[in-house]
C-alpha cells in the first residue's frame, strides 16, 4: 500500500486535527469498561440457551455431576407430565373435547381414503364433470376441513385445558405429585384385579 504525500491536503487536515468528511466513527460496542466489575458480579454471555429459562449453575460441575443434574431434571419433568395426564383424565370437559378432536381426525382420514378410492375406481375418466371426480374432490375438501379443524380445535379448546392442568401440577410439591401418580396406579391395579 502506498503512503500519502505530506503535502496532500487530507494529510494536512489529519495533522492539524480536523476531521475529514469520510472518516468513520468508532462503534460504541467496542468500548471497554473503565474499571473491573465487582467480585460478586458474574458476567453472562449474550448467547443464552433458552430465553426465560433458569440460569445454568453447572459451570463448575464435572461431567458426572452434570449428567446427574440433568437426570434429576428429566425425572422431575416426567413426574410433572405423568401427574398432568392423571389430572386431565379426571377432567370430564377435557375428555369430551379430546374425543371430538379424535372424531375430527378420524373423519378427515376416512374422507381422504374415500377420495383416493373414488380416484382409483373412476381412474379411466379424469374429467372434472364426472360424478366420481366430483365426489373425490368433495371428499378431499371435507378431509382437509376435518384435519385442519381438528388442529384448530386442539389449539383453541383443548390446549388451554392442558396448560391449566400443567400449571396446577407445577404448583404442587414433588411429594403431592407423586401421591397423585400413586393413587392413579392403585386405581388401575384395582380395576385389573376385578
Query: What DSSP designation does 156 have?
Result: I
Q: What is the pLDDT of residue 135?
A: 86
Residue listed under C-alpha cell 431434571: 73
Using a pLDDT cut of 70, give the percent of the chain over it.
77
Decide: helix, strand or coil at residue 40: coil
pTM: 0.60
Cell of 177: 405429585
What per-residue confidence (pLDDT) applies to 132? 79
Cell readout for 71 is 437426570
Least confident interval from 48-57, 83-92, 143-152: 48-57
Residue 41 Cα distances to 35, 38, 149, angstroms = 13, 5, 52
- The stretch 75-92 carries a mean pLDDT of 93
Of 144, 145, 120, 146, which is closest to residue 133 (Cα–Cα)?
120
What's the mean pLDDT when you consider all of the chain?
A: 83
The mean pLDDT of 87-105, rounded to a whole number, is 95
Q: Residue 144: its pLDDT value, please?
A: 96
Residue 70's alpha-carbon distances to 54, 78, 125, 180, 186, in angstroms, are 13, 12, 61, 24, 29
Cβ count within 10 A of residue 118: 20
Q: What DSSP string describes 94-119?
A: HHHHHHHHHHHHHHHHHHHHHHHHHH
Amino acid at each position: 500500500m502506498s503512503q500519502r504525500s505530506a503535502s496532500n491536503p487530507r494529510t494536512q487536515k489529519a495533522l492539524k486535527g480536523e476531521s475529514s468528511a469520510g472518516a468513520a466513527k468508532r462503534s460504541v460496542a467496542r468500548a471497554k469498561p473503565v474499571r473491573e466489575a465487582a467480585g460478586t458480579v458474574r458476567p453472562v454471555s449474550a448467547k443464552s440457551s433458552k430465553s426465560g429459562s433458569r440460569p445454568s449453575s453447572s459451570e463448575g460441575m464435572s461431567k458426572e455431576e452434570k449428567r446427574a443434574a440433568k437426570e434429576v431434571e428429566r425425572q422431575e419433568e416426567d413426574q410433572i407430565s405423568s401427574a398432568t395426564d392423571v389430572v386431565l383424565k379426571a377432567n370430564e370437559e377435557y375428555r369430551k373435547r379430546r374425543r371430538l378432536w379424535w372424531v375430527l381426525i378420524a373423519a378427515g382420514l376416512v374422507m381422504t381414503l374415500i377420495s383416493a378410492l373414488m380416484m382409483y375406481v373412476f381412474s379411466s375418466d379424469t374429467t372434472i364433470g364426472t360424478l366420481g371426480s366430483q365426489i373425490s374432490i368433495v371428499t378431499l375438501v371435507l378431509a382437509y376441513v376435518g384435519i385442519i379443524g381438528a388442529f384448530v380445535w386442539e389449539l383453541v379448546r383443548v390446549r388451554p385445558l392442558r396448560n391449566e392442568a400443567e400449571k396446577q401440577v407445577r404448583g404442587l410439591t414433588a411429594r403431592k405429585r407423586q401421591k397423585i401418580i400413586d393413587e392413579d396406579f392403585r386405581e388401575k391395579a384395582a380395576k385389573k384385579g376385578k
